[in-house]
Amino acid sequence: MKLVKAEEIEIKEVLDILERGGIIIYPTETLYGIGVKYDNNELLQKVFEIKKRPEEKSFPLIIDLRHLDMVSESIPASAKRLMDKYWPGPLTLLIPAKKSLSKRITKENKVAVRMPGESFALRLIQKSQFPITATSANISGYPASDCIEDVIKYFKNSDIDLLIDGGKLPGVPSTIVDATVEPPKIIRKGAIEIDLSLY
């Protein structure tokens, strides 16, 4: 496992690792996340095993707006309004999933996506040609990591290629909204307050 400071590594180097099938842990504006290329089923399965994640759960993705057509064939109007208002930022949206997506990143034909706020994660996804998983860097059932010490504690013996140290993070997860239903519904309260009656 290679450990580097976020300010000391080139984004291109990180993307090269992901392209080659590597697993990274990286800082977002909320918590640390585990990242792999979104369409590599073998890697998605590996992350499930590393996290000891229950089979019925799926992984969220970080995306840039230009990646939307890779994950969904139709974006609800309410989702577009929420994206316009809150992205980049700590808002995860459930949108209709493309049928070709792995079951590891979909549930009930929905995929969870967000464009992270100002952070290493935002700079990474803005340069990436593909969505990246953003599942929290913890063992399932344990608290999500907001510092590098917790990440190392959880994964020091795991098959992680690159660990990116972004220091102490706020630790409040993103708000999750299901935009596949009308009106949209808050699934998890998090870093931002949203009045869904406006959307």
Residue ranges in the chain whose pLDDT is less than 50: none
Q: What is the pLDDT of residues 98-139, one digit of tens each?
A: 999 999 999 999 999 999 999 999 999 999 999 999 999 999
Q: Report the pLDDT value the prediction gives residue 20, as an integer from 0 to 100.
A: 97
CB atoms within 10 A of CB 189: 12
CA 178 to the chain's CA centroid = 16
Alpha carbon distance 84, 193 (integer Å): 15
Structural domains in the chain?
2-198 (3.90.870.10)
pLDDT of residue 175: 97
State the alpha helices, DSSP H only, in the chain.
11-19, 41-51, 68-71, 77-86, 120-127, 148-155
**Residue 144 DSSP one-character state:** P
The 10 Å Cβ neighbour count of residue 74 is: 10
The pLDDT of residue 199 is: 66
pLDDT score of 56: 83
Query: What DSSP string runs through 26-61?
Result: EE-SSSEEEE-BTT-HHHHHHHHHHHT--TT----E
pLDDT at position 128? 98
Question: Mean pLDDT score of the chain, rounded to an integer?
Answer: 96
